[in-house]
Amino acid sequence: MSDEADLPQMPAPSTPNSLQKEAEFLGQSGLQVTGKSRMEAAYGSGDGDGDSAAIVAKTGTIDSGTIFHQVYRPWRGKLNSRWVRNWTILRHHIYGIFTKGHRPWPTYTKLVIVAVVMGSLIPIFTTFLGVMSGSDDLMRIFGITRATLWGHVLGTFHNICCWPLVTALIVGGLISEDRQHGTSAIYFSRPVTRTDYTLMKYISAALVLSMIIVFSYCAYYAAAIILNNEGWGYLLDTFPYFFGGLVAALMLVLTYTSIGLALSSISKGKFFPAVAFIGIVFGTKILAFFINLLFERDTLYLLSPHDNLAHVGQWMMELNTTYKFPVAWSFVALLVMNVISLYILISRVNSLEVTRE
């Protein structure tokens, strides 16, 4: 017999199953993952606890699975500056109103914004009709006066029907959706501080409101001067009233933004902040009105953001006040509302985790 017959016969290697796939680890071929192996590890409760070593049960089979190790490599590239990252957050919210590829604003929100803007520009069209037709009645109603400038920003129609509705739709899900969907993990996993996050959210909501309230107010004042062909003397006479209304409009934007974002930060959905904001504006107004009607006490108007803004606006534009208490009380009430709202907003943003809550 030959020497080959004396050698022991080794079994032929088995062909891997079609369901088994070759694993890869760091670009190199590894063992076949069968999913049948089991690893058990435990820390003992007796002697040897100080070794801090896990006891691993070994398997007797050769075709055991591969244990993968996930390695996180730090970013070695060059980061953008702080303000570029903040601009990205701001652009993400603002551009979504006009174009795609950014924060997807709902269609009904865009329609409401367009309707409110068009409604705010109606005095411009009526002024144009009054100039073209020579109607004194239209010019008396929609012409530039202290009352019309105050009513354009703080009047009952705009400050009750338009501005609260737009604010509720804008700030409703601005922070609550980040808490609900875990989007805060995307922000805070980047080098974005919570201060920058809060500031950019606040500026985003304030800019959208300013584009509606402040823009329509300035456009109305400029269009009335141009259409009536007024001179520099008229401009100098009416500018102090215009400036007072402009300051009141900015106070309205800041106050509504603070209250709205505070409500959005304590919720995980956009329905509750929107309804709660409208409820605060309408509820405090109606409650103070009934208390004044029944008991002839108007001090409860200090709880209403609408009435405090209206009172301060009347004082700035030198109009006859409709409230019996001093204007300083309304100003202090607005400061207290903003401080409390900002405190709630900051504390809730600080509670946002990097992972989904």
178 within some domain = yes
Q: What three-state secondary structure class fits 68?
A: coil
Q: What three-state secondary structure class fits 228?
A: coil
Maximum average pLDDT range among 102-106, 328-332, 347-351 = 328-332
11 within some domain = no
| Residue 44 predicted with pLDDT over 50 | no
311 within some domain = yes
Q: What three-state secondary structure class fits 11?
A: coil
**Of 202, 178, 173, nearest to 188 (Cα)?**
178
Q: Which of 71, 100, 131 finishes a domain?
A: 71
166 against 122, higher pLDDT = 166
pLDDT class for 210, splitting at 50, 70, 90? very high
| Residue 160 predicted with pLDDT over 80 | no
As a whole number of angstroms, the distance between CA 338 and CA 203 comes to 15
3 within some domain = no
pLDDT class for 23, splitting at 50, 70, 90? very low
pTM value?
Answer: 0.73
The residue ranges of DSSP E strands in the chain, in sequence order, are 22-25, 28-32, 41-42, 55-56
Q: Which residue range(s) make up the domain with 66? A: 20-71
318 within some domain = yes
Q: What three-state secondary structure class fits 10?
A: coil
Instruction: Assess whether 188 and 336 both reside in one domain.
Output: yes
* Segment 172-196, tens digit of pLDDT: 888 888 777 777 777 776 678 888 8
Give the count of beta carbons closer than 10 Å to the beta carbon of residue 40. Answer: 10
Instruction: Assess whether 40 and 119 both reside in one domain.
Output: no
| b/e burial code for range 277-293 (CB count within 10 A of at least 16 → b) | beebbeebbeebeebbe
Instruction: Assess whether 183 and 37 both reside in one domain.
Output: no
Instruction: Let me know: does 312 contact 331? Beta carbons within 8 Å.
Output: yes
Written as six digits, the tokens of 253 are: 């934007």
Instruction: Assess whether 205 and 328 both reside in one domain.
Output: yes
| Residue 290 predicted with pLDDT over 50 | yes
- Mean pLDDT over 231-254 rounds to 88
Instruction: Assess whether 67 and 91 both reside in one domain.
Output: no
| Residue 166 predicted with pLDDT over 70 | yes
Number of domains forming the structure of the chain: 2
Using N-to-C axis directions, what is the helix angle for 163-171 and 271-295, rounded to 10°?
Answer: 150
Q: Which of 23-37, 211-225, 304-318 has the lowest mean pLDDT?
A: 23-37
- 32 φ, ψ (degrees, to nearest 5): -80, 130
76 within some domain = no
